[in-house]
Amino acid sequence: MSATNELIAHIIAEQFTELLEEKFIDLPKQAETIGLCLISEVQQILMNEVLDDFNAIEEIVCLFEKHHLNTGFRHDFG
Q: What is the mean pLDDT of residues 59-71?
A: 89
First to last CA, the chain: 34
What pLDDT band is residue 74 in, cutting at 50, 70 and 90?
A: low
CA distance 70 to 78: 18
Inform me whether the pLDDT recorded for 27 exceeds 90.
no
Q: Where are the domains of the chain?
A: 3-66
Q: What is the pLDDT of residue 44?
A: 97
Q: Of 29, 33, 41, 47, which Cα lies nearest the Cα of 66?
A: 41
Q: What is the pLDDT of residue 47?
A: 97
Higher per-residue pLDDT: 50 or 31: 50
Q: What is the mean pLDDT of residues 29-46?
A: 92
CA distance 70 to 64: 7
